[in-house]
Amino acid sequence: MNRFFRKAAGILTAAVMAVSAAVIPASAADSRQKLPENDAMAFVDGMGAGWNLGNAFDAWAARTPADELNLETTWCGAKTTKELIKTVKSAGFNTIRIPVSWHNHVDKDYNISSKWMDRVKEVVDWCMDEGLYVIINIHHDNDKNEYGYYRPGKSEETRSVKYIKKIWEQVAETFRDYGEKLVFQGMNEPRLTGDPNYEWWYNKDNVPQTVKDALEIINELNQTFVDAVRASGGNNADRYLLIVGYAAKPDQLGILSQYFRMPKDSAKGRLIADAHYYGIGVKTSPAVIDGLYKAYSSKGIPVVISEYGLNENGYKYSDNTETAVQRMGDFFSYARNRGISVIVWDNNYGGKGISTSHKFIDRKTAKVITPEIVSAITKAGAPALASSGSTKTAASATGSGYTGTNSSGAAFRVTAASTVAKKATLSWNKVSGAAKYAVYQYKDGKYKLLSDKLTKTSVTIGGLTSGTQYKFLVRAYVNGKWTAATSKEIVRVTSK
């Protein structure tokens, strides 16, 4: 099986069900479930729908080519461009995941080549310039001894801990001062690579000792990852981190396993549960999402599905547009309404008549080739509470008060000045350079605009119901742009 198209030609057999009739009814997909409010949940909400830069920086070879940078093009056939990143943003995606394999780019002591690190950093910078959330990871470095540098086998434990620690120390140092929209994912699909019995599946009701050892080592590697990032300081002290279970399974073999545990963390509420899912089966999709919702997001621990596609072997997206629009739109909606952000897998392989397809954006032309599908999933997966691009829906915010930031970084604070019968008055300090302000009220799961033409630093809102708690936000218009709400605070008012 050609490893270059690992996501196009199926390996994740245990995680995938056959594509059949859509099983998530629109009514269910449109129903937003009750979710706790905290910074982490608001952050993942803001990630919205995402796209994978697959088979580019994660490509690897048994032998590193003379020019290591050529590995970027060996699987996907194209070099990543700034224009491509702009297309990802303009297509409506909020998040881009950049899978990265490092082992072809390290010396015997696991020191990463500066050429490779600089190239990864260049693309990350392009993404950050577009305002995207960005995920980078350790991807295809999990393999047998002759290929990989970590593997959760008992005999490979010491080497694996050393590798994970060393790589993340260097990556964390390189990106330590980047903003919180840069997210680290410790590992991709940690598993017993090459094991004919247990690589992708094991009996959860009778777990063999070999797998028990692997599950415990994965916990150890996750902890090693978290500790290495936090120790680097800077913005890494409280950066959001994605934590994955065995083979990135979304079920009781992986992140829902009784043997899986979240790492201890010096930063409070900054860990995100992570899993992969391919396919919509007759009974599986709601069960998978509902399981993640019950175990994590319903308890205030956010979840990201960092790889998703209709089928592990690919799907004729270009030939079945209407079906794909329905199924993927329903899936993204169902997940979004349970506090889960989804990132579609794209490996730049596929097109008309090609069944092993996971291609939505052409890398060479930087054009969306399945616009109806992309539109459906970006709309269905859009933030329920967040949008920093306009005043139609306010940026995500949770907590007990609200702090915004103007273009110079100066903070302004909004407080509830007073409440009278069925009215509330909000006031805030003047923001330097602000031409006007916008105020929002939280309704039906979203912050909805009440007015974006306010020039004074206070507003009275009427028509409230006595004894009811309301939540409000305010944004400032500075230098031609609306300030983005942070996830620090909101204003809660109980009307009299």
402-494 has which fold? Immunoglobulin-like (2.60.40)
Catalytic residue among 103, 105, 139, 276: 139
Question: Other C-beta atoms within 10 Å of 444: how many?
Answer: 7
pLDDT along the chain (496 residues), means of 10: 38 32 42 85 95 97 93 97 98 98 96 98 96 97 82 95 98 94 98 96 97 98 98 95 98 97 97 93 67 96 96 86 92 93 95 85 97 96 61 35 36 57 81 86 74 88 80 82 59 73
Q: What are phi and psi of 448, to 5 degrees?
A: -105, 140
Q: Does 139 participate in catalysis according to the annotation?
A: yes
Looking at residue 144, what is its pLDDT?
A: 78
Catalytic residue from among 72, 157, 307, 489: 307
Sign for the pseudo-dihedral over CA of 328, 330, 335, 337: positive
Side-chain half-sphere exposure of 411, counting CA atoms within 13 A: 8
Distances (CA, A) of 377 to 25, 105, 331, 381, 475: 15, 35, 8, 6, 28
Query: In degrees, to the nearest 5, what angle opens at C-alpha 118 toward C-alphas 114 and 120?
Result: 120
Catalytic option among 72, 156, 157, 189 = 189
Query: Same CATH topology for 3-380 and 402-494?
Result: no
Give the pLDDT of residue 416: 52
DSSP β-ladder status, 411-420 and 423-428: antiparallel
Q: Which fold has domain 3-380?
A: TIM Barrel (3.20.20)
Residue-range domain boundaries for the chain: 3-380, 402-494
Residue 427 is which amino acid?
Answer: S
C-alpha distance from residue 217 to each of 266, 273, 327, 490 (Å):
21, 17, 36, 41
Told to judge if 189 belongs to the known catalytic residues of this protein, a careful annotator would answer yes
pLDDT of 445 reads 59
CA angle 103, 143, 273 (to 5 degrees): 90
Tell me the residue length of the chain: 496
Asked if 307 is an active-site residue, the reply is: yes
Q: How far apart, in Å, are the Cα atoms of 429 and each of 157, 168, 321, 413, 490?
A: 55, 42, 50, 6, 15
